[in-house]
């Protein structure tokens, strides 16, 4: 089955820790994205990548970092500099105008 996988589904972090969220796609899409979603809120773009070894900041990149070493993988690191990281994180890839989303990772800071 083609699609996007995110892991883990739930993640708990202690304050001051960095954590990395995984995103893998087998759709052969060039572009990949990370969004943050807070309760009752819309989708806010963190980072996006249009091609391997290149990525751009979105609207809320502070406290986050990404890498794009392989076409199929776009991991997101939530650093200790992100002061309010508890949220639902969504990874997506796109073909032309359509975005395909993964199932999400719910991150909770303890």
Q: Which of 11, 13, 22, 31 binds other proteins (CB under 8 A)?
A: 31
CA distance 25 to 51: 14
Cα gap 104→37, rounded to integer Å: 10
**In contact, 1 and 60? CB cutoff 8 Å:** no
Q: Which of 7, 17, 18, 50 binds other proteins (CB under 8 A)?
A: 50
17 binds other proteins (CB under 8 A): no
Asked if 76 touches other proteins (CB under 8 A), the answer is no
- What is the C-alpha separation between 73 and 106, in angstroms, rounded? 19
C-beta of residue 24 within 8 angstroms of C-beta of residue 5: yes
Task: Give the interface segment with other proteins, choosing from 20-28, 70-78, 79-87, 100-108 (CB under 8 A).
Answer: 100-108
- Least Cβ distance, residue 89 to other proteins (angstroms): 10
Would you tell me which residues interact with other proteins (CB under 8 A)?
4, 31, 33, 40-43, 45, 48, 50, 58-59, 90, 92, 94, 97-104, 106
């Amino acid at each position: 089955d083609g699609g996007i996988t995110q892991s883990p589904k739930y993640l708990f972090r202690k304050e001051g820790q960095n954590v990395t969220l995984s995103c893998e796609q087998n759709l052969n899409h060039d572009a990949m994205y990370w969004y943050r979603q807070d309760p009752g809120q819309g989708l806010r773009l963190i980072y996006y990548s249009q091609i391997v070894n290149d990525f751009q900041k979105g609207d809320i990149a502070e406290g986050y970092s990404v890498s794009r070493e392989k076409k199929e993988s776009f991991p997101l690191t939530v650093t200790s500099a992100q002061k309010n990281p508890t949220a639902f994180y969504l990874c997506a890839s796109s073909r032309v105008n359509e975005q395909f989303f993964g199932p999400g990772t719910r991150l909770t800071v303890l």
